[in-house]
Structure 1
Amino acid sequence: MSHVSPALYRTLARIVPELYVHCVDPWCLIGSAAALLVGAEVGVADVDVLVSRDDAERLMTLWASLRDEHHAPAEAERFRSHFARFAFPGMPVEIMGGLELGGASGWQPVSAGRLTLAGVDGLAVPVPSVEDQIRILESFGRDKDRQRAMALRALASSPLRGED
């Protein structure tokens, strides 16, 4: 597994137990943190959490004192969700409730697909399978997401890679 920075570990140690307690529906990490947790060599600036709209609402109430009211997500015209960003010690956390991606076919829900658990010092963190992470990142169509997908493809083609 790639190196989990102290900042990322601090954030995961705080949020993962709370996500298990307060989310009713399945949830998972996506984006750079998810890619890193399965072994891809990527940088992580924040933690993206895919949840249901109802769970997003619960988390917004739970973490209200940490909410970053001034953050505006980049490329908001391509994505829509029940969104909030929180300033956790360690690194920011972005909650995306019922995330949808806009395109030629209109708005389509972003599905995590098959989940796997990434172990981080006693924490079991749900992330999409490597193949599903690649699919999600490529669907986003941004340069940074294509780079993460390439890092995951390199991981997937490695002869040392175990089953996820």
Structure 2
Amino acid sequence: MSHIPPALFVALAELVPELHVQCAEPWCLIGSAAARLLGAEVGVADVDVLVSRADAETLATLWAGRRDAAHAPADDGRFRSRFGRFRFPGLPVEVMGGLELDQGEGWQPVSPGRLVLAGVQGMAVPVPALDEQIRILESFGRDKDRERAAALRRLRQPSALSIVSSS
């Protein structure tokens, strides 16, 4: 597994326990942080959290003092959710409640599919499984997401093994 950058670790150390306590429905990380936790060599500028709309409302109330009200999400015509960006130590956290994507055929919910737990210093962090992350990132259709999907695909390739004959 790739090294977890200190800023990501610091953000997760405060964020993950709160999500486990505050969210009534399943949640997971998506985007660059989720890819990094599975071992992809990608940069991480923020932590994207996929939650239900109800849990997004709960978190928005709980974290009102952390809210970054000046931030406007990019590609907002392509995505919709109960969105909030919050200041956390290390990295900002972006919460997407009931995230939907419009690829030209109307709004469709973004489903994380099968989840796996990434272990980070004793914390269980739910992230979509490798193939699910690739599917999600490719569906977003942005260059940065295609690059992350490619980094995840590289994890499927077997390591080069040297075969040594002793004869």
Q: TM range, normalised to the smaller chain?
A: over 0.9
Q: CA deviation at 1:3?
A: 1.1
Helix, strand or coil: the match of 2:48?
strand
Is 1:76 aligned to residue 82 of structure 2?
no
Partner residue, 2:3: 3
Partner residue, 1:55: 55
Scaled by the length of structure 2, what TM-score is found? 0.94
Partner residue, 1:152: 152
Partner residue, 1:87: 87
Partner residue, 2:165: none
Q: State how far apart, in whole Å, the 1-side matches of 2:8 and 2:130 are.
A: 20
Q: State how far apart, in whole Å, the 2-side matches of 1:156 and 1:95 are.
A: 29
Q: State how far apart, in whole Å, the 2-side matches of 1:114 and 1:156 are.
A: 17
Is 1:46 aligned to residue 41 of structure 2?
no
| 1:52-80 residue CA offsets vs partner (Å, 9 max, x unmatched) | 00000000011111000000000100000
Partner residue, 1:12: 12
Runs of 4+ in 1 over 6 A off after TM superposition: none
**The structure with more radius of gyration:** 2
Q: CA deviation at 1:103?
A: 1.8
| 1:93-115 residue CA offsets vs partner (Å, 9 max, x unmatched) | 00000000012210000000000
Partner residue, 2:65: 65
Partner residue, 1:116: 116
Partner residue, 1:34: 34
Q: How many residues align?
A: 160
Tell me the percent identity. Answer: 70
Q: Which runs of 5+ in 1 are unaligned?
A: none
Q: Which runs of 5+ in 2 are unaligned?
A: 161-167
Q: CA deviation at 1:136?
A: 0.1
In structure 2, give the amino acid aligned to 1:61: T
